[in-house]
Amino acid sequence: MSDEKRVILAYSGGLDTSCILVWLKEQGFQVICYMADVGQKEDMEAARKKALSLGAEKIYIEDVREQFVVDFVFPAVQANALYEDRYQLGSSLARPCIARRHVEIAKREGARYVSHGATGKGNDQIRFEMTFYALYPEVQVIAPWRMPEFYKRFEGRTGLLKYAEERNIPLPVTKESPYSCDENLMHISYEGGILENPAAVPPERIFKMTCHSELWPDKPENIEIEFKNGIPVKVSNLDDGTTKEKPLDLFLYLNEVGGRHGVGRIDIVENRFIGMKSRGVYETPGGYILLVAHLDIENVTLDRELRKVKQGLCIKFAEQVYQGFWWAPECEFVRFCIDKSQEHVEGKVRLSLFKGQVYVKARESKMSLYNEDLVSMDKRGSYNPEDADGFIKVTALRVREFNALRSALAAQNSS
């Protein structure tokens, strides 16, 4: 096979990439499909057969779930990563993981081209291509949704549905349910259809990872999460004795218990990197549980001033990941600093899951900076109350001087 027009297509089996596969063939490309298993619940074998039936030369189906958790999700846990205070970056973290393997396959196959189905209005095109160019600088990217010959021919999803009907492409998406759903083991996101109107309430039927409130258990479920270097290393169910220690098993189990209690749903309007606002509905049960637990164990083990510095780095990290800069030098530096801050972040946090909420019940750590004797209201410990007198006066000095001047000026102006 000549590599002159060989392209590796990131393939999902859905509307966009199925149509793009056929369209690339019509443009004279030899198409090799690549499908990453990041925890989405899809029939991979059916996807394989579909890609081959649509004309793909071959298809790689790669299980990258463990890599996703260890290399991308856990660093985000260490960072308490939240974009715009709420979004836990499920899609943003998956893209550099998926694209890394995409590049490896392209190099193995000697392909000069890579392609994806990300919309020309979204963030994913940036995230994918920033990885492509970082790890394969000489690669050429085919992004159909930015090519006039493609987007002028297909007016959004409706145009693709018509094209699919004409080319006999079987699709799971219908005109009656046109939601764009991105699923991986960290989250599921929903966009499109009526969700494009931020005033519309999402139909309950769209949710897959979390139970409806009518099905939430009437009894709390108690778990314990153990951390080492800011990374979860063990989850124990204190009610039934279940324990999980392997990274992938641990995360999937948190999704399971969090899902049945309805934990981790959000509905937000966010600012895309490309400049527009978009509405997204997300489910992140396991990730939200870890966020709550990690914040708690950090508060016990991190020095106050170190925590302040880290908070700023975490905001920067979330922006970098959201905007597709995982492989950029500044993001590598920020990850290094955050990882350094986690050297003493270890211990256990006990939590209760109940009616859509996560409640911290207790925590313990051999690296705890909490000194019970020092803080106790019943003991003086090593603290000398008289020291507070000078501390308060020095702290108040600038405030006293500022307000004294303001009072003097006010008196002068009134006279």
**Cα distance between residue 95 and residue 226, in whole Å:** 28
- Residue 44's nearest CA partner among 25, 65, 29, 73 is 65
The yes-or-no answer on residue 95 being catalytic is yes
Choose the catalytic residue: 18, 91, 115, 180. 180
User: What is the bridge-based pairing of β-strands 58-63 and 30-37?
Assistant: parallel
3-state secondary structure of 291: helix
| Sheet hosting strand 188-191, strand order edge to edge | 180-183, 188-191, 277-283, 265-271
Choose the catalytic residue: 6, 16, 91, 363. 16
The yes-or-no answer on residue 339 being catalytic is no
User: What is the bridge-based pairing of β-strands 231-237 and 243-244?
Assistant: antiparallel
The yes-or-no answer on residue 16 being catalytic is yes
Tokens 């801050």 — which residue? Answer: 341
Choose the catalytic residue: 6, 65, 95, 279. 95
Which residues are 140's β-sheet partners? 113
The set of residues, in sequence order, having a beta carbon less than 8 Å from that of 10 and lying 6+ positions away, is 17, 34, 35, 36, 98, 99, 102, 114, 115, 116, 117, 128
Plot region of 384 (φ>0 → left; ψ -120 to 50 → alpha; else → beta): beta
Which residues are 277's β-sheet partners? 271
3-state secondary structure of 333: helix
| Sheet hosting strand 243-244, strand order edge to edge | 243-244, 231-237, 221-228, 347-354, 357-364
**Cα distance between residue 192 and residue 178, in whole Å:** 7
Choose the catalytic residue: 12, 124, 189, 363. 124
Burial (0-12, 13-18, 19+ Cβ within 10 Å), 187: buried
Which secondary-structure segment (H or E) carries 214? none
Tokens of 408: 């003097």
C-alpha distances (whole Å) from 354 to each of 56, 216, 351, 357, 362 are 47, 8, 10, 5, 16
Residues serving a catalytic function are 16, 95, 124, 180
